Amino acid sequence: MPTISDSNHVRHHHHSKTPEFEKLQKNFEVQQSKLEDIMEIIETKLTPPGNVENRLRKLEELEKIVERKMFNVSKHVAELDRLRLSLLQLLESVETLETKVDTELPSLQREISKMEFGVAENSATVSMLKEHQVSLLVVDRRIIIILPCLHREISKIRS
C-alpha cells in the first residue's frame, strides 16, 4: 500500500504538470490535510477524561474514518502513479517521433530538391516545345502560301 511519503516522492519527481495531474495532486493534498485534522481530533478526543467505553467507541469511529480516508488517499496515489507513467510513455513516444523526423528530414529535403530540379527541367522542355510549335506553325503558313504558287509553276511547266 502506498504511503504518504511515497506520494511526496511521486510529486517531487514529476517533470511536467498537466491540469489533470495538478487536480489529482490538489485533491491528494486536501485528503492529506483532512487526515492530519482527524489525527488532531483523535489526540484531542483521547485526552479528556470520560468513560472508557465512550472513548473506545469514539476511537473506533475515528479509526473507520481514518481507514476510509487512507483508502481514498491510496487510490489517489495510484491514479497519480498511472498518470505519471502515461506521461512518461507519451514523452518517450514524442522523443522517438522527433528522432525519426530528424533522421528522415535530410533525405526528404534531397528528394524535394530532386523533384524541384525535375520540374524546372520539364518547364524548360515545355517552353522549348512551345517555341518549336510556334516555328512549325510559321513554317506551315509559309508552306500554305507557297504551295499554290508552286502548283501554278508546275502547271506552267507541264503545259
- How many Å apart are CA 25 and CA 11, to the nearest integer? 8
Residue with cell 519527481: 13
Q: Which three three-digit cell numbers place residue 101?
A: 523526423
- The residue type of 106 is P
Closest CA to 25 of 37, 39, 10: 10
pLDDT for res 10: 45
Q: What is the dihedral of CA 14, 17, 20, 22, to 10 degrees?
A: 90
Q: Which tops the pLDDT comparison, 15 or 62?
A: 62
pTM: 0.42
- pLDDT(127) > 50: yes
Residue boundaries of the structural domains of the chain: 4-113
- pLDDT(122) > 90: yes
pLDDT digits (tens, 9 = 90+) for 26-85: 888 888 888 888 887 777 666 555 577 777 888 899 899 889 988 988 899 899 999 999
